Every structure is written in C-alpha cells, then in structure tokens.
Chains A and B, each alone.
Chain A
Amino acid sequence: MDWIDSILAAAQPILVSGIVLASLYALMATGLALVWNTLGIFNFSHGIFMTLGAFVAWQFADARGYGLGLSVGIAVSVAALAGLGVLFNRVLIAPFLGRKDIVLVAVMTTLAGAFFLENSALLTWGPRIKQLERILPGNIKLMGSAISLHEFLIVILAPLVLLALWAFLKWTRPGSAIRAVGQNRDSALLLGIRVNAIYALTFAISAALAGGAGVLLGAIRFITPTMGTEPLLKAFIVVILGGLGSFGGTIVSAYLVGFMEAISTYFFGAYWTQAVMFGLFIVILVALPRGLMGRD
C-alpha cells in the first residue's frame, strides 16, 4: 500500500499551502466581485490596491519609515486604502457611468489608474524590496507540517472577514442598499437610495479588503511595486470560475483555485503552474462563461 502512503505524504503540504493561498485569493476576489456586482465594472487597479496596502503599512510600521509599530501601520493602511477607493471611484468611474461603453471605458481608466499608482509606488519607495513584520511571530504545527503563526492567522482571519462582510451585506441597511443597487439601479434610485454614495462605499470596502490582503501578504512575500499583479490575475480566475454575480461562488472558487494551484505546484513545479492556471482559465471561460454558480 505504498501509493496510499505517498498520496498522504503529498496531501499534507498541498492542503496547508493550498489553504493559505486560498484565503488570500478569497480576500482579493471578494473585493473584485463586490465592485463588479454593484457597479458592473471590472477593476484592473485591484492588484495595485493590494501593493499600496503593503507599502503604506510598511511606511508607517517599519523602522526605516515612520517606525510607529505594526498595528498603527495596518490601521493607517486599511483606512488609507478605503479613502483611495473613494477617490478612484470619484475620478475614474463616476464621470463615465451611464455611458454605453462603460465596461470598456472602465477597463481603460482603471488600467491607467493602475499604471499611475504602480509608477508612483516605484518613485516613492524605489525598486528595492521590502518586507513587513509578521503579525504573530513563531511557528505552529498544522496537520503534521509546520507553518508560521502568521500564515495560520491568515487562514483563520480570511473566513472571519468574509463572514463579517456577508453579515454586513445581509443584515445592515447600507449592506442591503449595496445589494439593491447591484440588482436594479433604477429601482434603488426610486427608493431614495443615494446610488453614488453606495458606489463610493462599495469601492472603499473593496479597496480596504485588497489593502488588508496586501498587509497579510507583505509579511510572507517581498513588497515590490509589481507584487499585486499576480494576485490580481488569480483573482480574475477566481471570480470567473465562481461566476460573476455570485458571492458564495466566488468564495468556493477561491478555495478551489488555491488548492488546484497547490496541487499543480506540488506535481508540476511553480513555473508550469502559472501556465496551467491560465490555460484552465481560458477553457473555463469558453466552456462555462457563467462560471460554477453565476447568474446573468
């Protein structure tokens, strides 16, 4: 029964690294999906939001920056990103809403926004790599393989944040308003919902989620101006696989993509995995344009 042993031996590291990746993807993809569901635009700046989250936290927390400690850094970073989200919506999205080609225009403006911010980050912080402190130092044994407590925290925190977001959307008045605007903008307007304020709020939540994901990732990978590109592309895959318009689908698919990536990395190596993921992405788009659980 050697083969069972070898599968079990392979399964543990796959499970552990898969669940860490999946948690981060879930945070990124949910923000992307939230904006898509509510505003009907795809935000190509979502990756750079994540990068800036890490850089701002580093600037306030690290001794080479302002040295105010990690908790200040995280708080400032999430708040700053929420503000940036509002600003982005104001400058890059709001003026174009209502245009017939809004989907294409939003791709162009958010791409330009990402280009702007990426080069600003390069000018401000330089190309030298940086890293954040871990929120919790030390390691822990999980299912037989050791992971850092920080990664363990990611695994625990991500579902909690998503649960909180779900509860917010489900039970609070602003949350209901966000869903109402997403379902039918005109009816929402007639009900007296201030649609533009809801758009700004949605963008703020989405950017804050990306910033938080950046803070978490910035302690396990290096912070560079382009660190957000790969997670952004992964978030695309997650959102499409889950189906645009489905909140639950996005989360399920984040965990699916995380595990698929871990399995593929284990068996084919990190280099091939990226090509495999994009190949799979194209196949999914063609075979199931609505994703696993999507609606129109």
Chain B
Amino acid sequence: MTQPKRLIWPLVLLCLAALPLVNADSYLRHVVIVALLYASLVSSWNLTLGVAGLFNFGHMAFFAIGAYAAAITTQTFGLSPWIGFPIAIASSLVASIVVCLPVLRLKGIYVVLVTFAFGQLCYQVVLNQRDITGGTFGIVSIPPLELFGYSFAEKLNLGYYYAALLLLVLSTAYVKRLIASEFGRSVIALRDNETYAVSRGVAAAQNRLLIFAASGLFPGAVGALYAFYVRSASPDLFGFSLITLGLSMLLVGGIGTLWGPLIGAAVLTVVSELMADLGPARYLVIAVMIVAVLRFFPGGLAGAGPLLARLFRRATGKPQEQEP
C-alpha cells in the first residue's frame, strides 16, 4: 500500500512539468498557472489556520501586500522585478509579524477580528495613498519578469508556468519539512492541548510568532509572481471574496493536512473556471460547498480516502481498525 502511495506525488509533478510540451492552449495554461499560485498560497495559510489552529484571517492581506510591494517597487520606482521579489517577501513577512504581536495576547474570536481588521486597515491605507498605490484603480502595467533577455510571457507564459510550479514545489517541500520538524510538532501540540504542551516546556508565544513568520514568507512570493503575471495589483485583493475563496480551498481539500490544500486549490480553481459562464452564480455554488463540507465532510477531500475505506469495511463486515 505504501509503495503506490509514494509514487502519486512525483507522478503528478512529472505530469505538471511535462504539461506545457503537449498543451498549446493559452486558456488551459492560464488556469493551471492560477491553480499553482493558489496552491502555494493556501498551503502556507494552512500553516497558521490548520496546523497551528490560529484563527488567522489576514493571510490574503499578506498576499495582497506582496503584490503591492512588487508593483510599487517596479512600476512606481522603476526598479528591476528581481528586486521586487525579495522586497515583496520581506513586506509580507514584516506584515505577518506585525499582525502576530497583538494576536499573541488574544484568543478565539478576538484573533479573527484583529486579523480581519488588519486586512481592512491595509485596504483603507491603499485607497488613501492614491499617489503611491493608484487608489481604487490599483497599479497597472507592471513590467513583466525577464531573465537573460527572455520574457516569461513568451510561448504562452511558459516562464510564469515554470516559476509558479517551482514556487509550489518549494513551498510544499518547506511545509512538509516544517510539519515533520520538532518545531512543527510543538506547534501541533499547542493546537491540540495547550495546557499540556506548555507544561511539557513548549514556549507558546515564541512558537506562535515563529509559525506566523514561517507562513508569512510564501504569500509575499506568490503575491509578487501574481502581480508580474497579471501585470496589475488591485485593491480587490484585500476583499472578502478572496478570503472566502481561499477558505473554501482549505476546507474542501482538508484543513491541517499537507496535501489537502493543494487538492483543494486544484479542484476549486477548475470548478470555478468550469462555471465561469454562470458569473456570480458560481459563488453561490462555492458558498454551498463550504457549508456542505463543514457539515458532512469535516476532513475535506484529504479525509475522504480513510472515510471511504471505513465505510467499505463497515459494508463488508470486516472488523474496524482503531483510529490513530
């Protein structure tokens, strides 16, 4: 059983890497790029919301900050996009640490409210500082990424495709190592039983700050790549809709698991694109999906395999295994 399981993900990666060789359709290319970007974005959100159990609803704001940081560096100040990248990552890292400081003292619903309020604060500042951020119109005609005179937009955005894939591989490897590390296990212990974890010597505040910082790296990178790819940054990135969409990816895929958010991002992007003709009606479907998953499949798609296996065993009358 372990052998085929281990092969699935390298196979998926191989298919994704080979896809541009067989695909000449610009629309499909775009959908896959968007799905790859979402996958890195929500799997880093999963670190705070899922793995650490911290009610962080500011993650999409970190992403938007990354996009704006990249846009301002390159469009407003005319610097190279390759300088935009580290600046975007640094900005979203700083933002996540700033948000985390008040969160360290708070619990439950207060954490949700502070992180929401932070996003709204950023949104208002972006609207205010029209000279720098373009106000409600956002920043447009951001320069594209180039490397050795080769534009990433050439050959149906081939450069962006591989950049997004590389980012996803990096972020997944990063999340996987982080969860398996001693630090990751401390964070999970804090989530599952804070009193016990603290009594065993896990430093609660320090671990929370670190996991926030750890999850704040990738939204900046994804934001920058997104801004260079669509060549704009708009204040809509701070809106409720993006938060809800990201949330639906985490929930549908399986919150707190390693592969769940990736599956969720792929499924939701495809479903959302298939329903593109419906206009706003597709958001009704997504909203229903969120509630249905919370109600009937709290584990999401990542939990569907074990669930099916259990149902199968029950149906065939074989003795049930104890849940680990």
Q: Which residues of A pack against B, CB within 8 Å?
A: 42, 91-92, 95-96, 103-105, 107-109, 111-116, 119-120, 122-123, 229, 233, 236, 240, 244, 271-272, 274-275, 278-279, 281-282, 285-286, 289
Contacts and interface: CB of A to CB of B under 8 A. Distances in A.
Contact of B117 (A96, A271, A278): A278
Given A119-B280, A271-B128, A112 B106 contact: no
B228 to A, nearest CB: 28
B74 to A, nearest CB: 25
Contact of A103 (B106, B108, B295): B108
Given A108-B251, A272-B128, A285 B106 contact: yes
A236 B288 CA distance: 25
Contacts of B240: 111, 114-115, 229
Contact of B244 (A92, A103, A111, A286): A111
B309 interface: no
B108 A91 contact: no
A233 B120 contact: yes
B34 interface: no
A42 B113 CA distance: 10
20 contacts: A42-B113, A103-B109, A103-B112, A107-B55, A108-B294, A111-B240, A111-B290, A112-B286, A113-B291, A115-B283, A119-B287, A123-B281, A229-B240, A271-B127, A274-B127, A278-B118, A282-B114, A282-B118, A282-B121, A289-B106
Given A123-B279, A233-B120, A286-B106, 8 more contacts: A91-B291, A111-B244, A111-B290, A116-B288, A123-B280, A236-B116, A285-B117, A289-B105
Interface of B: 55, 57, 102, 105-106, 108-110, 112-114, 116-118, 120-121, 124-125, 127-128, 240-241, 243-244, 247-248, 251, 279-281, 283-284, 286-288, 290-291, 294-295
A290 to B, nearest CB: 10
Given A115-B240, A233-B120, A289-B106, A109 B290 contact: yes
Sorted from nearest, which 6 A-B pairs have the closest CB atoms? A116-B287, A278-B121, A112-B290, A275-B124, A274-B124, A119-B280
A285 B102 contact: yes
A267 to B, nearest CB: 15
A112 B291 CA distance: 7
Contacts, number: 109
A279 to B, nearest CB: 6
Contact of B295 (A95, A122, A233, A281): A95
Given A108-B290, A278-B120, A116 B106 contact: no
Nearest to B127: A271
Contacts of B290: 108-109, 111-112
A244 B55 CA distance: 18
Contact of B128 (A120, A240, A244, A275): A275
Contacts of B57: 107
Contacts of A233: 117, 120
A293 to B, nearest CB: 16
A112 B109 CA distance: 17
